[in-house]
Amino acid sequence: MPRVSGTREKSSALIALGAVVRGQRKALDLSQEELADEASIDRSHMGKIERGERNVTVLNMIRIAKALGTDVSEIFAEAGL
């Protein structure tokens, strides 16, 4: 049975999600470092999330959405997920 056990998964869904995070961050004129700090997420981890290189958790998505001033549902909807 295929299971998602790791966090290093590359997928078109993660890439789409990361692109939305990056787009919303840039729309707010925030640097990646500023968003990472605001969301209390490690800076290098944030870069990997934006590139779709990490299978983000729900709690980190909530932190990111809060830092972007939006809802998690909005981010997923914009990513077509």
Residues of the shown chain interacting with a second copy in the complex, contacts defined by CB under 8 A: 1-4, 7, 9, 11, 13-14, 17, 40-42, 55-63, 65, 71-74, 76-77, 81
Residue 32 CB, shortest distance to a second copy, in Å, is 15
Residue 54 CB, shortest distance to a second copy, in Å, is 9
CA–CA separation, 35 and 5 (whole Å): 27
Q: Say which residues have a Cβ less than 8 Å from residue 63's Cβ, sequence separation at least 6.
A: 39, 40, 41
Residue 8 CB, shortest distance to a second copy, in Å, is 11
CA–CA separation, 45 and 41 (whole Å): 7
